[in-house]
């Protein structure tokens, strides 16, 4: 399937930031797909703008998730995993310290994506080492310039380790 709209990454870079209305529409579509994957027992583990393609340029575009090379099939017997892989700026804290994790790591990546769409930059600076990265990721606090209280609350829920434990993509 040819994606005329290119990568979400290129679109956000070209726009600088997205309006809250446009960002919420995009994130809603991505969340719907992630929720479907999770119901099928699939955790993507590498959600990032480069792995999201737009079907076309313009307002009627859809968003497609690609690159399932790092994904994992979890089931009733195996609900967690511990592999350290993915793109560091989108990894949940538990992945950075190689703790056991589950499908909710994708919720963290959704929070990072949401922030990037609204603000135009990553919420956390990605230093050279894993230790530095983990030290710089607070429990959900990052600068949230000029976005609504609803967006701040949604971002905080997905980028806060304790709150994310109970947060499903459909609740974002």
- pLDDT < 50: residue spans in the chain: 139-141, 166, 172
What is the chain's length? 172
Question: Which residue numbers are catalytic?
Answer: 46
Helix 149-158 vs helix 105-119: crossing angle, to nearest 10? 150
| pLDDT tens per residue across span 110-127 | 999 999 999 998 887 766
Q: What's the rounded Cα separation, in Å, for the pair 86 and 69?
A: 10
SS3 per residue for 33-80: HHHHHHHCCEECCCCCHHHEEECCCCCCCCEEECCCCCCEECCCCCCC
């Amino acid at each position: 399937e040819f994606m005329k709209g290119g990568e979400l990454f290129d679109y956000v870079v070209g726009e600088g930031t997205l309006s809250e209305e446009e960002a919420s529409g995009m994130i809603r579509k991505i969340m719907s797909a992630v929720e479907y994957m999770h119901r099928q027992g699939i955790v993507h583990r590498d959600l990032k703008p480069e792995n999201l393609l737009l079907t076309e340029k313009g307002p009627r575009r859809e968003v497609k998730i690609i690159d399932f090379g790092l994904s994992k099939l979890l089931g009733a017997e195996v609900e967690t995993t511990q592999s350290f892989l993915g793109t560091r700026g989108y990894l949940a804290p538990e992945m950075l310290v190689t703790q056991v994790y589950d499908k909710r790591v994708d919720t963290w990546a959704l929070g990072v994506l949401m922030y990037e769409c609204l603000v135009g930059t990553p919420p956390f600076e990605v230093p050279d080492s894993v230790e530095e990265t983990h030290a710089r990721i607070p429990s959900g606090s990052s600068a949230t310039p000029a976005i609504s209280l609803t967006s701040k609350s949604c971002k905080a829920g997905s980028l806060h380790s304790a709150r994310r434990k109970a947060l499903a993509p459909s609740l974002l």
